[in-house]
Structure 1
Amino acid sequence: MNSLLTDSRASQLHLPDIVGQGYGTFWRFKGRYRVCKGSRASKKSKTTALWYIVNLMKYPQANLLVIRKVYRTLHDSCFTDLKWAISRLGVQAFWDVKESPLELTYKPTGQKILFRGLDDPLKVTSIAAEHGYLCWAWIEEAYEISSEADFNMIDESIRGAIPPETGLFKQVTLTFNPWNEHHWLKARFFDTPDPDTLALTTNYTCNEWLDDADRRVFERMKVQNPRRYSVAGLGEWGIVDGLVFENWVEEAFDKTIIAARPDVKSAFGLDFGYTNDPTAFFCGLVSEKEMTIWVFDELYERGLTNRAIYQRIYGMGYAKERIRGDSAEPKSLDELREEGLRRIRPAGKGPDSIRSGIQYIQNFRIVVHPRCVNFLTEISNYTWAKDKFGNKTGKPIDDFNHLMDAMRYAMEDIQRGPTYSFD
Structure 2
Amino acid sequence: MKTNSKIDSLTATFPPHVQKRIDKKTKIIVSLPKKIGKGYKSFWAYKGRYLVTKGGRGSKKSTTAAMKIIYRMMQYPLANTLVVRRFFNTHKDSTYTQLKWATHHFGVAHLWRFSKSPLEATYIPTGQKILFRGLDDPESITSITVEVGFLCWAWFEEVFQVRDEDAFNKIDMSIRGELPPGYYKQLMLTFNPWSENHWLKKRFFDNPDKNTLALTTNYLVNEFLGEDDVDIFNTMKEKNPRRYSIEGLGNWGIADGLVYDNWEEKTFDKDEISKKLGVFSVFGLDFGFTNDPTAMIAALVDPRDEAIYVFDECLAKAQVNKDIAKQIKYMGYGKERIIADGAAPKDVEDLRQMGLTRIKGSLKGPDSINFGIQKIQGYKIYVHPRCEHTIVELSNYVWDNKDGSPINKPIDDFNHLLDALRYAMEPVKVQKKSLLDRYKKM
Task: Tell me whether the two structures share a fold, i.e. TM-score over 0.5.
Answer: yes
Match of 1:283 among 298, 302, 313: 298
Query: 1:117 aligned to 2:128?
Result: no
- Decide whether the 8 Å contact of 1:42 with 1:202 is kept in 2: yes
- Distance, in Å, in 1 between the alignment partners of 2:383 and 2:404 is 30
Question: Which residue of the partner structure matches residue 2 of structure 1?
Answer: 9
Larger Rg: 2
DSSP-derived class of the 2:428 partner: helix
- Distance, in Å, in 2 between the alignment partners of 1:97 and 1:416 is 54
User: What displacement does 1:158 show?
Assistant: 1.5
Question: Which residue of the partner structure matches residue 196 of structure 1?
Answer: 211
Query: 1:48 aligned to 2:65?
Result: yes
Question: Which residue of the partner structure matches residue 404 of structure 1?
Answer: 418
Question: Which residue of the partner structure matches residue 79 of structure 2?
Answer: 62
CA separation of 1:125/1:328 partners in 2, compared to 1, >3 Å: closer, same or farther? farther
Query: In the TM superposition, what whole-angstrom CA distance separates every residue of 1:283-335 from its partner, at most 9, and x where no partner exists?
Result: 11001121110111222334445444444433433333222223344454445
Count the aligned residue pairs.
414
1:110-149 alignment, distance < 5 Å: 110-149=127-166
The percent of aligned pairs where both chains have the same amino acid is 54
- Distance, in Å, in 2 between the alignment partners of 1:56 and 1:304 is 40
- Decide whether the 8 Å contact of 2:192 with 2:247 is kept in 1: yes
User: What displacement does 1:390 show?
Assistant: 1.2
Query: In the TM superposition, what whole-angstrom CA distance separates every residue of 1:129-155 from its partner, at most 9, and x where no partner exists?
Result: 232222111111111111211111121
The letter for the 1-side match of 2:68 is W
User: What displacement does 1:340 show?
Assistant: 4.1
User: What displacement does 1:383 show?
Assistant: 0.7
- Distance, in Å, in 1 between the alignment partners of 2:255 and 2:93 is 29
The letter for the 2-side match of 1:411 is M
Query: In the TM superposition, what whole-angstrom CA distance separates every residue of 1:68-98 from its partner, at most 9, and x where no partner exists?
Result: 2122332222222222222222223232222
DSSP-derived class of the 2:261 partner: coil
Match of 1:154 among 171, 178, 182: 171
1:330-409 alignment, distance < 5 Å: 330-387=345-402, 389-409=403-423
- Distance, in Å, in 2 between the alignment partners of 1:230 and 1:65 is 31
Question: Which residue of the partner structure matches residue 36 of structure 1?
Answer: 53
Query: 1:16 aligned to 2:23?
Result: no
User: What displacement does 1:170 show?
Assistant: 1.0
User: What displacement does 1:4 show?
Assistant: 4.5
Give the TM-score of the pair, scaled to structure 1: 0.91
Match of 1:72 among 89, 104, 117: 89
Question: Which residue of the partner structure matches residue 26 of structure 1?
Answer: 43
Question: Which residue of the partner structure matches residue 421 of structure 1?
Answer: none
- Distance, in Å, in 1 between the alignment partners of 2:220 and 2:365 is 41
Q: Which runs of 5+ in 2 are unaligned?
A: 1-7, 13-21, 432-442
- Distance, in Å, in 2 between the alignment partners of 1:306 and 1:7 is 51
Mean Cα deviation higher: 215-224 or 176-185: 215-224
CA separation of 1:307/1:361 partners in 2, compared to 1, >3 Å: closer, same or farther? same
The letter for the 1-side match of 2:292 is D
- Distance, in Å, in 2 between the alignment partners of 1:100 and 1:272 is 38
User: What displacement does 1:413 show?
Assistant: 2.2
Question: Which residue of the partner structure matches residue 420 of structure 1?
Answer: none
- Decide whether the 8 Å contact of 1:119 with 1:371 is kept in 2: no
User: What displacement does 1:185 show?
Assistant: 0.8
User: What displacement does 1:57 show?
Assistant: 2.0
User: What displacement does 1:203 show?
Assistant: 1.2
The letter for the 2-side match of 1:410 is A
Q: Which runs of 5+ in 1 are unaligned?
A: 418-423
- Distance, in Å, in 2 between the alignment partners of 1:26 and 1:360 is 47
User: What displacement does 1:32 show?
Assistant: 0.2
- Distance, in Å, in 2 between the alignment partners of 1:354 and 1:335 is 25
- Decide whether the 8 Å contact of 2:83 with 2:133 is kept in 1: yes
User: What displacement does 1:45 show?
Assistant: 0.9
- Decide whether the 8 Å contact of 1:144 with 1:377 is kept in 2: no
User: What displacement does 1:7 show?
Assistant: 2.6
CA separation of 1:77/1:358 partners in 2, compared to 1, >3 Å: closer, same or farther? same
Question: Which residue of the partner structure matches residue 428 of structure 2?
Answer: 414
1:96-115 alignment, distance < 5 Å: 96-115=113-132
- Distance, in Å, in 2 between the alignment partners of 1:11 and 1:338 is 58
Query: In the TM superposition, what whole-angstrom CA distance separates every residue of 1:166-212 from its partner, at most 9, and x where no partner exists?
Result: x3211111111112222211110111242211100111110111223
The letter for the 1-side match of 2:224 is W
User: What displacement does 1:339 show?
Assistant: 4.7
1:215-230 alignment, distance < 5 Å: 215-230=230-245
Question: Which residue of the partner structure matches residue 333 of structure 2?
Answer: 318
